[in-house]
Chains A and B, each alone.
Chain A
């Protein structure tokens, strides 16, 4: 009996070792294919970038499959695990020739998600762990692990914590754009009253800054990350799209220097209010919203006083011209000879 058990165990071990060899060969094949897709770069991407992504993809695949193969060696129903890990390759070009028999089961291209989508998913999951780990690689790694991916997938993020912060900022901006578009639709349908510009700006900035509240403890760290030199261009781009969106939905259609003046003013208001919010300890950040109110009121007052100065200036000039003409008439210099 013992001999029979030994024999069956030996046969099982042979089976597992055969299966293990097969999986290893497949892994190597997939790694080579990932590398190959990076080398046979599509014309759209520069070759070095796709090579890098090819390498990272293969590294990621290897990491991923080393994890899954650990399970597969112990579990004979490894086919499903392998298929799972295959059904989520971060393949961007679905036009790759399907040479492996597993890939032919995924007929619709939607099973493949692009690298950007995968990154977005990981960063979205990582945001949960920001209060705990701060805006760091650890948060990204923990987020990746909750998605069932290896924590080494943080290697995908060249910018590390900067990627996380920029992703969050972009996400907040697009949420705000959606909210503003929805509000506009409500006004169009007549279900809501159109707001005055100052109120609209105040509400838009308040809505946007309220998105920071869950992360307000760690937000100073995020702001300092955004101020790093390699992050500044993209942070400025996000800020400018945010301010442009808010003004556009507030009804600004100017096509002269006012375009720049309005956006500069709103950028100043937004940044200063953001900073005030960091140090605000009042209930529900009442002091911040009061500060915001005052700044917007300042901007409005500035605009009206500029208008008043202009119209006063014009009136004064007209008065002077009238006085000069009267003098000319009085001294007889205006007579036609």
Chain B
């Protein structure tokens, strides 16, 4: 009887704690660690906010791209694969939502644009078939990994110790994106007609989106 109570308490405690944390609307009290250190001056704040804003926009866009791909290819044989990659992007987006709310970062005002553009990009490349969808994945994930790498470089140049937590998060996400990139290559991304053109066009679009999201 006591063992039963103890075990059920063990199971219930995390749920209670989680529910308690959810009910409270004030974030700086419900976590005792912070991924991003509080900025020391306005220059650092500007840099950190730009990084977080564009990362958030990137994950949001990636999530929408996979949604577009699922809308077309959801019921085909590649459906489960795309769903799996989409779930990982959703997890990334959730993490960045948390960080943005905690650090009071303004999300980019172009989110509705990335909403529509991402969905259209995913859907239109999926209409080219499974290879098209994979080619889009490869292009986008390559852009995103490059972008994460340059952010990691920036933060390492500044102060690796200060940003350890943030660097860990970005490195983990970059590794996930590289995994998606490799998955795309494995699943015949390069066999789509006009692969080089499609890939470069998408990458130019991504670069433009990154540039704009940092600022607007």
Contact = CB atoms under 8 A, between A and B. Distances in A.
- Indicate the size class of the contact surface on chain B: 10 to 19
Given A244-B104, A248-B104, A253 B25 contact: yes
B104 A259 contact: no
Nearest to A245: B104
Contacts, number: 26
Contact of A188 (B27, B29, B56, B101): B29
Interface of B: 25-27, 29, 56, 96-97, 100-101, 104, 106-107, 109, 111-112
Given A188-B29, A251-B26, A253-B101, A259 B106 contact: yes
A257 interface: yes
B27 A255 contact: no
Contact of B107 (A184, A244, A248, A255): A255
B42 to A, nearest CB: 12
A254 B101 CA distance: 7
Most B Cβ at <10 Å: residue of A188, A248, A259 = A259
B contact face: mostly helix, strand, loop, or mixed: helix
A157 interface: no
Contacts of B25: 194, 251, 253
Contact of B26 (A188, A254, A257): A188
B56 to A, nearest CB: 7
B111 A257 contact: yes
Contact of B27 (A244, A253, A254): A253
Of A188, A194, A255, A259, most B-chain CB atoms within 10 Å:
A255
A152 B106 CA distance: 42
A253 B26 CA distance: 9
Contacts of B107: 255-256, 259
A7 B39 CA distance: 69
Contacts of A259: 106-107
Contacts of B112: 257
A260 B27 contact: no
A266 to B, nearest CB: 15
A282 to B, nearest CB: 35
Contacts of A255: 56, 96-97, 100-101, 107
5 contacts: A187-B26, A188-B26, A244-B104, A255-B100, A256-B107
Contacts of A187: 26
Contacts of A257: 111-112
B165 to A, nearest CB: 19
A256 B27 contact: no
Contacts of B106: 259
Given A184-B26, A251-B25, A256 B104 contact: no
A310 to B, nearest CB: 16
Contacts of B26: 184, 187-188, 251
B156 to A, nearest CB: 24
A260 B56 contact: no
A164 to B, nearest CB: 23
A323 B96 CA distance: 41
Given A188-B26, A253-B25, A260 B109 contact: yes
Nearest to B107: A255
A71 to B, nearest CB: 41
Nearest to B96: A255
A189 B148 CA distance: 40
Most buried by A among B26, B27, B29, B56: B26
